[in-house]
Amino acid sequence: MQLNCDLGESFGLYVLGNDDAIMPYLNYANIACGYHGGDAQHIQRAILLAKQHAVKIGAHPSYPDRQGFGRRSMQLSSTELYDHLVFQIATLQGLCAFHDTSCVYVKPHGALYHDIIESTAVREVFFSVIENAPKLHQVMLPAGPWAKALVEDAEKHHVTIIFEAFADRAYDNTGKLVSRTQPGAVLSQSEAITQAQNIMNRQHVICIDGTEVPLYADTLCVHSDSADALAIVIQLAELCE
Structure confidence at residue 223 (pLDDT): 86
Q: What is the pTM of this model?
A: 0.96
Q: State the pLDDT confidence band at 104, using cuts at 50, 70 and 90.
A: very high
pLDDT digits (tens, 9 = 90+) for 159-196: 999 999 999 999 999 999 998 889 889 999 999 999 99
Residue 180 falls within a domain, yes or no?
no
Answer whether 43's CB lies under 8 Å from 95's CB: yes
Kindly state the greatest CA–CA separation across the chain: 48
Q: State the pLDDT confidence band at 240, using cuts at 50, 70 and 90.
A: confident
CATH of the domain at 28: 3.20.20.370
Residue 154 falls within a domain, yes or no?
yes
Residue 104 falls within a domain, yes or no?
yes
CA distance 91 to 173: 37
Is the pLDDT score of 241 beyond 80? Answer: no
**Quick count: other Cβ atoms within 10 Å of Cβ 54?**
10
Residue 101 falls within a domain, yes or no?
yes
Average pLDDT on 34-58 reads 98
**Quick count: other Cβ atoms within 10 Å of Cβ 37?**
26
Average pLDDT on 61-86 reads 96
CA distance 14 to 213: 37
What percentage of the chain carries pLDDT values higher than 70?
Answer: 100
Structure confidence at residue 239 (pLDDT): 87
CA distance 216 to 218: 7
Residue 196 falls within a domain, yes or no?
no
Average pLDDT on 1-29 reads 95
Q: Provide CB contacts within 8 A for 189, sequence distance 6+.
A: 228, 231, 232, 235
Answer whether 133's CB lies under 8 Å from 89's CB: yes
Give 177's DSSP letter: B
Backbone angles phi, psi at 43, to 5 degrees: -65, -45
What percentage of the chain carries pLDDT values higher than 90?
Answer: 91
Residue 188 falls within a domain, yes or no?
no
State how far the alpha carbon of 113 is from the alpha carbons of 50, 129, 153, in Å. Answer: 23, 14, 15
Residue 210 falls within a domain, yes or no?
no
Residue 116 falls within a domain, yes or no?
yes
Answer whether 193's CB lies under 8 Å from 228's CB: no
Structure confidence at residue 180 (pLDDT): 86
Structure confidence at residue 170 (pLDDT): 95
Please count the structural domains in the chain: 1
Answer whether 183's CB lies under 8 Å from 162's CB: no
Structure confidence at residue 209 (pLDDT): 92
Is the pLDDT score of 139 beyond 80? Answer: yes
Exposure string (b/e) for 19-36, b if CB count within 10 Å is 16 or more?
beebbebbbbbbbbbbbb
Domain with 39, as residue range(s), is 2-166+218-225
Spatial CA neighbour of 31 closest among 94, 82, 114, 123? 94
Is the pLDDT score of 22 beyond 90? Answer: yes
Residue 29, helix vs strand vs coil: strand
